[in-house]
Amino acid sequence: MRLVLLGPPGAGKGTQAEKLGDRHGIPRLSTGDMLRAAVAEGTPIGLKAKDIMARGELVPDPVVIAIIADRIKQPDAEKGFILDGFPRTVAQAEALERLLAQRGLKLDGVIEFQVNEGILVNRIDARIGQMRARGEPVRADDNPDVLKQRLSAYRGQTAPLIDYYRAKGLLKPIDGMRTIEEVTEAIRRALEAPEKARTQPAAPRRKSGKARGTRSKASKARKAARSKRKSKRRAKTAKKAIKTRPKQARKPARRG
């Protein structure tokens, strides 16, 4: 199974990606985690991404595309993967499609986490406060100002993917404001729904959706109406032909 989880920061994608990964025995691939690891290790990619991430902006497409291209080739991703935080732009989505197509693969679905942004911001603020109070480390980009920038990047650059994937018939919207368990259940149902539809025996194809008996009656009526119209038309044309004939031809020959 190859899935994309799509939604603004703080919508709960990470939690659900972990659960999905565990359930299907496939890895969760988070570009955010990979970039944070690169920053921590001080690799060239990390050095490039550090300030951009701290500002809440998007790391350039070629950088993240190269990371994902390399990651999905790894043996543990052979059976599938859950993409969390990638793609984030249409260019990334197109690159992903190409990378998969090169290996004869495609996505199975895109889960869209629908959330109320106002409530989301309050939730994240509360969570950051609690973590700080407990003395837990807080992400550099988990602060109200950077969060605003991350949300704006989502709206401007990532949200167009909703239409992009809807047009491809891959989008599965779910209500992300429910409890973790309810969201998990909604995702499970969303993933099962198309399977059911596919396994249902296909109904015999008919030209019209009406029942056989009524259909033949209706078509008989239509046929009768058609032939009535046709004979009316014929009579009209014949009348017109007589009218437009030269007068001489119409008058009966005078007998001498």
Q: Is 150 among the catalytic positions?
A: yes
CA distance 11 to 133: 22
CA distance 135 to 181: 27
Residue 17 in the binding site for ligand AMP (CB under 6 A): no
Set 2, 13, 19, 172: catalytic member: 13
- Cβ atoms of 31 and 85 within 8 Å: the answer is yes
Rg (CA), the chain: 32
Residue from the set 8, 9, 12, 80 that interacts with ligand AMP by CB under 6 A: 9
Q: Is 88 among the catalytic positions?
A: yes
User: Contacts with ligand AMP in 57-116 (CB under 6 A)?
Assistant: 57-59, 64, 85-86, 88, 92
User: Contacts with ligand AMP in 114-133 (CB under 6 A)?
Assistant: none
CB of 150 to ligand AMP, least distance (A): 5
Closest residue to ligand AMP using C-beta atoms: 32
Set 106, 127, 232, 236: catalytic member: 127
CA distance 170 to 152: 24
DSSP 95-134: HHHHHHHHTT----EEEEEE--HHHHHHHHHHHHHHHHHT
Q: Is 139 among the catalytic positions?
A: yes
Query: How does DSSP classify residue 87?
Result: -
Residue from the set 2, 71, 150, 172 that interacts with ligand AMP by CB under 6 A: 150
**What does residue 148 show for φ and ψ, rounded to 5 degrees?**
-60, -45
CB of 88 to ligand AMP, least distance (A): 4
- Cβ atoms of 81 and 22 within 8 Å: the answer is no
Q: Is 13 among the catalytic positions?
A: yes
Residue type, 169: G
Q: For binding to ligand AMP (CB under 6 A), which residues are involved?
A: 9, 31-32, 35, 52-53, 56-59, 64, 85-86, 88, 92, 141, 150
* Active site (catalytic) residues: 13, 88, 127, 139, 150
